[in-house]
Amino acid sequence: MGAKTGLLVYADGDVPELLRRVGAADRDRTATMMRRLYPGRGVEECEGSVLSDGVYPPEGTVYAACWPGVEVIGDRGMMIDLPSQLPEHLVAASVGRRLVLHNMHSVVDWLAFAVWEDGRLVRSLSLSPDDGVMENIGEPFPFELPYWAGDRAADVIPWPDEDEEPYPLPFHPLELGEDALRALCGFVQEGRPEADDVDADHIRLHGFWLRDPHGSDRTKQEAELQSAGEAMGPPRFYTFGPDGLLVESDGV
């Protein structure tokens, strides 16, 4: 599995149903939302993405869209181990609405998701094989029950090592993560699409660069990277000589 998400959704009702009805998101309205949710940060427009790809944007970039009744934000900065510690101003913005946080990272098999109703946390779960269950608040949702009941055991084949231990969790976090993403947001990153899934490939998100409040903005960072690359000089290529030692070559 290669799924990664850093997704936050505000909605006036059922998220999948609302996303099935959206059209083009208004850029100005989305930019206003960005300034409200990222106070003190410089917000600069850039190339956008689609929902299927925009849930895990490059570092320093946010993909977002604002429609009547539903707002979507894809941001790696939303990927926190304990969803209950989501910044207060982000939770406060959900008063009178539903707020969904969904995080996955396939490299470490980590899943975290949470739901707030009218600003009140009703469910939060965060777990990975390395750290175990980091947070488990509220009653499990129906889509979770087969996992906790032992009906979706992790199908992980250990390395051929006699000391290899079994998978340390009763189920695979990314499998639950895909079911959580479908149930809470209406689409999946991996797995077989279903007929009533949200068409995440055709929902456009606007792109924004976030400038660091301490002045280390994207332009400065790119200039620093370019200077460092120029200081390194041209690349050098090596190959093995007849004696098995590395010798410099012309790279052809």
**44-96 pLDDT per residue, tens:** 999 999 999 999 999 999 999 999 999 999 999 999 999 999 999 999 999 99
pLDDT at residue 1, as a whole number? 47
Look up the pTM and report it.
Answer: 0.82
Low-confidence ranges of the chain (pLDDT < 70): 1, 156-164, 213-233, 236-240, 244, 246, 251-252
What is the C-alpha separation between 99 and 150, in angstroms, rounded?
29
Contact 70, 19 (CB under 8 A): yes
pLDDT at residue 165, as a whole number? 73
12 Cβ neighbours under 8 A, 6+ residues apart: 18, 69, 70, 97, 98
Contact 156, 167 (CB under 8 A): yes
Contact 63, 49 (CB under 8 A): yes
Pairing mode, strands 4-11 and 70-74: antiparallel
What is the C-alpha separation between 155 and 252, in angstroms, rounded?
46
pLDDT at residue 107, as a whole number? 94
Q: How far is CA 43 from CA 60, 178, 181, 224, in A?
A: 10, 31, 28, 20
| Per-residue tokens: 157 | 């084949």
What is the C-alpha separation between 219 and 223, in angstroms, rounded?
6
What is the C-alpha separation between 2 and 188, in angstroms, rounded?
12
What is the C-alpha separation between 109 and 232, in angstroms, rounded?
36
What is the C-alpha separation between 103 and 176, in angstroms, rounded?
12
Contacts by 148-153 with C-beta closer than 8 Å and gap 24+?
A: 152/176
pLDDT at residue 191, as a whole number? 82
Q: What is the DSSP letter of 25?
A: P
pLDDT at residue 160, as a whole number? 54
DSSP-assigned beta bridge partners for residue 209: 44, 61
pLDDT in tens, 115-127: 999 999 999 999 9
Going from N- to C-terminal start, the domains of the chain cover: 4-249
